[in-house]
């Protein structure tokens, strides 16, 4: 490392070399130009003196310098320490006594303390005392010799530094808190919430504030906090050229700092009728400028009158700049969100078609964060032969692109469904349509063909939640529904197969379809949300619209959600006359090895929904045996029908139809036989059974009495 070595001042050092001095009147006229000055005089010239305190005699000797520090005349001090009470206030004396007592308790040889002296003219000066404690041969204190000096300038400089440091720290904290709070504000509503919450005005170092925006040459106050009472209506909205502080600041683009309420009213006489609303202290009115355009103004109010320092003014202007940027960003966000929500609203159905024998209602809520737009959708489609198509789906994402994809997919799915295709075919075509779009988004979906005259529901799902069914007695069922991959992904992976499931909706029952925004909350398992939804439906109102409102308010709107939500409720009316017979029809293909297991699973769900009780197992065994006979002894598949017959007691009729004209034959298998017991089991379990011709084939049937439910 190289550098210039600075030599210490040599014999040629002369502090008088710089002659640019300011003349000063000498306050120590008794000292000649070259006369030697003794120690006492040197101390006195520096406002310092000495004391000698004899602890045994209780006498304290003060030299003239010390007398000057205490502002005492010789006739005002008799050597007793108590004589100093005329100059040392009691609280300062206690501070001195505590400092000396602590030093004596700790066995120290010195002590020191700062204290204030009350001068004869009423002013106070800071003083510092430093004493050396002398001890005798036994270690006991007997004498204190020390100095006293004026410390006002010293402490003033130190206090000023501390004050500046504290003020800078306070300003830094204010800027950090304000910036951090406004950084999370997306909309103008969010900005006003930050400014008007419990700590809003304090973030600006104020007791109250007003925020107004310029719109079409008018000034509108949109946020107020910390003021006494409500802001008058005629001050909430005004012309930009009106004689009001905020409007004047926005028009002139110049900040305005006023020290008191009286100065404010003198400057703006129109405020005189509203004196009680305005704080009594200082105020600052700051223009909000973004991209060289005035978008509004910010008013800050304090309870105490004060003249703001240059640092305080600069801080206020800096915070106003932060607010201006946040308001401009929030305004652009609101405009974009308004466009996006308008776009999404046009993509969702505006009217629902009437449904014979039932009622339907829907609810949609955008996400509580972001642009309030997403990919969730619902649809109700009038189908041929009096059926109704019900759709609930969710496109991946929560942005305008998700909404655009959702709109295209909804229209395509509606077109496929309106042609009368089966649920599986509708979802296969929708998946292929989505895969051909120029997007990487996928979608989940559940589609149902509902025939409310018979109560039959044919449904298929693609990676989506299945339906909830609540019957007239509030029994909740989440039937197991086989499904496929999400739309788009299913085609991309070559697995665009969506098996169809048939369910039955009893008269007086309600079906619910929803997206995961209703049952899923961040940090919680979805099963907890499903349980909460089941309980809410079970305990909710019976009227359909009221139930939809309750579910929205209780499960989505109240806690808020980061996801959007679509909800669809379908209610089957009881209808006049006798109740329609509930029926389930399933087809088992000859070459499908898993067909029997699927029928058994569907039977279990249906029988549980019908509350068949202990007879459910008998029906399931009988169905398995009859299906096995049809698949084994014929060359066709089997058509399985099960229906709940009306009357008392309730009965369930099971039919298995095939295309063979060969009549069944009951056999008597031996103990070691592995087959031939099917009809024996049917005869043992069923109350009645038989066979009847069906066109080119036949049907084997059996009936089971359903035990009465306990009261």
pLDDT of residue 676: 57
Q: What is the DSSP letter of 487?
A: B
pLDDT of residue 580: 56
- Do residues 462 and 492 lie in contact, with contact meaning Cβ atoms separated by under 8 Å? no
Phi-psi region of 577 (alpha: psi -120 to 50; beta: other; left: phi over 0): left
Backbone angles phi, psi at 290, to 5 degrees: -135, 125
The half-sphere exposure of 206 on its side-chain side, counting CA atoms within 13 A, is: 32
The closest alpha carbon to 353, from 392, 302, 315, 390, belongs to 390
C-alpha–C-alpha distance, residues 413 and 448, integer Å: 12
C-alpha–C-alpha distance, residues 285 and 256, integer Å: 5
- Do residues 265 and 279 lie in contact, with contact meaning Cβ atoms separated by under 8 Å? no
The answer for residues whose C-beta is within 8 angstroms of residue 533's C-beta and 6 or more apart is 468, 512, 514, 518, 519, 551, 555
Q: How many CB atoms lie within 10 A of CB 142?
A: 14
CA torsion through residues 7, 8, 10, 16, sign: positive
Phi-psi region of 575 (alpha: psi -120 to 50; beta: other; left: phi over 0): left
b/e sequence 553-589, b meaning 16+ C-beta within 10 Å: ebbbeeeebebbbbbbbbbbeeeeeeebebbbbbebe
The answer for residues whose C-beta is within 8 angstroms of residue 457's C-beta and 6 or more apart is 448, 449, 450, 451, 467, 502, 503, 504, 505, 511
Backbone angles phi, psi at 538, to 5 degrees: -65, -40
**Radius of gyration (Cα) for the chain, nearest Å?**
46
C-alpha–C-alpha distance, residues 300 and 291, integer Å: 23
The closest alpha carbon to 441, from 370, 473, 400, 489, belongs to 489
pLDDT of residue 85: 84
Exposed, middle or buried by CB within 10 Å (0-12, 13-18, 19+), for 209?
Answer: buried
pLDDT of residue 115: 86
Peptide bond into 649 cis (omega under 30): yes
b/e sequence 673-691, b meaning 16+ C-beta within 10 Å: eeeeebbeebeebbeebee
The half-sphere exposure of 15 on its side-chain side, counting CA atoms within 13 A, is: 0
Q: Could you say which residues of the chain have pLDDT below 70?
A: 1-38, 44-45, 156-171, 340-347, 367-373, 522, 556-563, 575-581, 591, 593, 666-676, 709-711
C-alpha–C-alpha distance, residues 700 and 711, integer Å: 35
Token pair listed for 694 = 């069906």
Paired with 145 in beta bridges are 52, 132
Helix (H, G, I), strand (E, B) or coil at 583: strand
Helix (H, G, I), strand (E, B) or coil at 311: helix
Place of tokens 């039955």: 504
C-alpha–C-alpha distance, residues 221 and 195, integer Å: 13
- Do residues 582 and 455 lie in contact, with contact meaning Cβ atoms separated by under 8 Å? yes
b/e sequence 440-456, b meaning 16+ C-beta within 10 Å: ebbbbbbbbbbbbebbb
The closest alpha carbon to 238, from 254, 257, 217, 253, belongs to 217
Q: What is the DSSP letter of 547?
A: H
The closest alpha carbon to 393, from 357, 356, 349, 358, belongs to 349
């Amino acid at each position: 490392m190289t550098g210039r070595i600075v030599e210490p001042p040599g014999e040629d050092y002369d502090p008088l070399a710089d002659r640019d001095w300011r003349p000063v009147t000498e306050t120590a006229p008794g000292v000649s130009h070259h006369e030697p000055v003794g120690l006492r005089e040197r101390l006195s010239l520096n406002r310092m003196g000495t004391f000698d305190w004899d602890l045994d005699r209780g006498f304290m000797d003060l030299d003239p310098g010390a007398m000057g520090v205490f502002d005492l005349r010789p006739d005002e001090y008799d050597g007793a320490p108590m004589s100093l009470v005329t100059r040392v206030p009691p609280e300062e004396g206690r501070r001195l006594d505590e400092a000396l007592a602590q030093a004596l308790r700790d066995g120290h040889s010195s002590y020191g303390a700062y204290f204030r002296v009350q001068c004869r003219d009423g002013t106070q000066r800071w003083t510092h005392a430093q004493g050396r404690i002398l001890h005798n041969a036994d270690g006991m204190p007997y004498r204190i010799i020390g100095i006293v000096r004026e410390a006002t300038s010293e402490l003033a400089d130190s206090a000023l530094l501390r004050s500046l440091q504290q003020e800078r720290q306070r300003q830094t904290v204010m800027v950090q808190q304000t910036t951090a709070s406004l950084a999370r504000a997306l909309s103008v509503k969010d900005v006003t919430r930050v400014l008007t919450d419990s700590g809003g005005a304090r973030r600006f170092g104020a007791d109250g504030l007003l925020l107004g925006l310029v719109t079409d040459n008018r000034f509108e106050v949109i946020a107020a906090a910390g003021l006494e009472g409500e802001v008058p209506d005629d001050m909430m909205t005004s012309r930009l050229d009106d004689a009001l502080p905020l409007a004047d600041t926005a028009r002139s683009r110049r900040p305005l700092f006023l020290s008191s309420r009286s100065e404010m009213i003198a400057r703006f006489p129109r405020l005189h009728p509203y004196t009680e609303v305005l704080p009594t202290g200082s105020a600052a009115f700051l223009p909000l400028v973004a991209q060289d355009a005035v978008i509004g103004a910010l008013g800050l109010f304090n309870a105490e009158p004060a003249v703001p320092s240059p640092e305080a003014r600069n801080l206020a202007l800096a915070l106003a700049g932060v607010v201006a940027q946040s308001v401009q960003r929030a305004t652009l966000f609101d405009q974009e969100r308004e466009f996006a929500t308008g776009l999404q609203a046009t993509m969702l159905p505006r009217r629902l078609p009437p449904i014979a024998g039932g009622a339907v209602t829907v609810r949609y809520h955008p996400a509580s964060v972001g642009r309030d737009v997403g990919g969730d959708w619902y649809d109700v489609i009038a189908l041929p032969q009096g059926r109704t198509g019900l759709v609930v789906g969710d496109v991946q994402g929560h942005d305008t692109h998700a909404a655009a994809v959702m709109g295209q997919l909804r229209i395509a799915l509606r077109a496929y469904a309106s042609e009368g295709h089966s649920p599986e075919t509708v979802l296969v075509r929708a998946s292929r349509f989505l895969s051909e779009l120029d997007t990487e988004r996928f979608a989940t979906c559940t589609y149902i063909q509902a025939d409310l005259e018979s109560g039959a529901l044919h449904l298929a799902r693609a990676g989506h939640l299945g339906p909830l069914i609540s019957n007239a007695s509030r029994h909740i069922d989440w039937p197991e529904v086989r499904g496929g991959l999400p739309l788009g992904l299913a085609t991309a992976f070559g697995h665009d197969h969506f098996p169809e499931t048939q369910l039955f909706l009893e008269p007086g029952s309600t079906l619910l379809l929803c997206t995961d925004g209703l049952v899923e909350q961040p940090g919680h398992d979805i099963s907890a949300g499903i349980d909460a939804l089941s309980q809410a439906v079970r305990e909710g109102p019976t009227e359909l619209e009221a139930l939809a409102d309750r579910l929205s308010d209780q499960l989505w709107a109240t806690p808020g959600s980061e996801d959007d939500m679509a909800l669809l409720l379908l209610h089957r009316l009881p209808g006049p006359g006798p109740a329609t017979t509930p029926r389930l029809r399933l087809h088992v293909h000859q070459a499908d090895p898993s067909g029997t297991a699927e029928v058994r699973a569907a039977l279990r769900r249906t029988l549980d929904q019908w509350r068949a009780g202990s007879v459910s197992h008998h029906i399931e065994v009988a169905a398995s045996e009859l299906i096995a006979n049809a698949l084994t002894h014929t060359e066709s598949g089997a058509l399985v029908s099960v229906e709940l017959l009306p009357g008392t007691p309730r009965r369930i009729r099971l039919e298995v139809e095939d295309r063979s004209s060969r009549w069944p034959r009951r056999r008597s298998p031996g103990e070691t036989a592995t087959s031939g017991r099917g009809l024996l089991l049917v005869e043992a379990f069923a109350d009645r059974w038989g066979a009847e011709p069906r066109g080119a084939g036949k049907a084997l049937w059996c009936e089971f009495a359903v035990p009465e439910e306990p009261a």
